[in-house]
């Protein structure tokens, strides 16, 4: 009976090289996140000057504060998801469930709509892969959580 339990457990475990797939996804996610920062900055700057300037000045805030606040919060959100996913891969048990959770967290952290949408608008030729990244990220997040 114990032998069958060990066989079932070894079937659920993943091999160490498979963990590198999670780090590859993390790298791609971080590249997409960094690539979207400049585009998102321009988009927020335009929105602050065009749509929100009167509201911001009434509240005593500058357009620059608006832009940097949203850039910082969106970056911290994506970074938090990536750090948690990295910790899960490094320190969690080597099972398919932890691997799935890490990839779901990484892809959802990057596919947060505003930054990725800004990148889709700027890089038209990357529209299909970026939309696919967003769809996979949301699907994995919904399935996992």
| Confidence band, pLDDT 50/70/90 cuts, at residue 8 | very low
pTM for the full model? 0.67
Tokens 């750090």 sit at which residue?
A: 83
pLDDT beyond 60 at 81: yes
Does residue 37 contact residue 115 with C-beta atoms inside 8 Å? Answer: yes
Kindly report the average pLDDT of the chain as a whole number: 76
CA distances (Å), 74 to each of 5, 17, 55, 113, in order?
Answer: 44, 31, 21, 10
Torsion of CA 50, 54, 57, 59, to 10 degrees: -120
pLDDT beyond 70 at 9: no
**What pLDDT, in 10s, does the model give residues 127-144?**
787 778 778 777 877 877
């Amino acid at each position: 009976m114990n032998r069958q339990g060990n066989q079932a457990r070894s079937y659920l475990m993943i091999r160490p090289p498979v963990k590198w797939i999670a780090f590859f996804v993390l790298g791609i996610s971080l590249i997409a996140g960094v690539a979207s920062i400049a585009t998102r900055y321009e988009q927020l700057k335009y929105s602050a000057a065009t749509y929100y300037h009167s509201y911001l000045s009434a509240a005593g805030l500058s357009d620059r504060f608006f832009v940097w606040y949203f850039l910082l919060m969106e970056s911290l959100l994506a970074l938090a998801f990536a750090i948690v996913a990295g910790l899960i891969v490094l320190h969690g048990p080597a099972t398919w469930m932890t691997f799935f959770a890490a990839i779901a967290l990484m892809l959802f952290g990057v596919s947060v709509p505003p930054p990725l949408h800004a990148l889709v608008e700027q890089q038209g030729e990357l529209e299909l892969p970026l939309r696919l990244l967003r769809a996979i990220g949301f699907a994995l997040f919904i399935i996992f959580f």
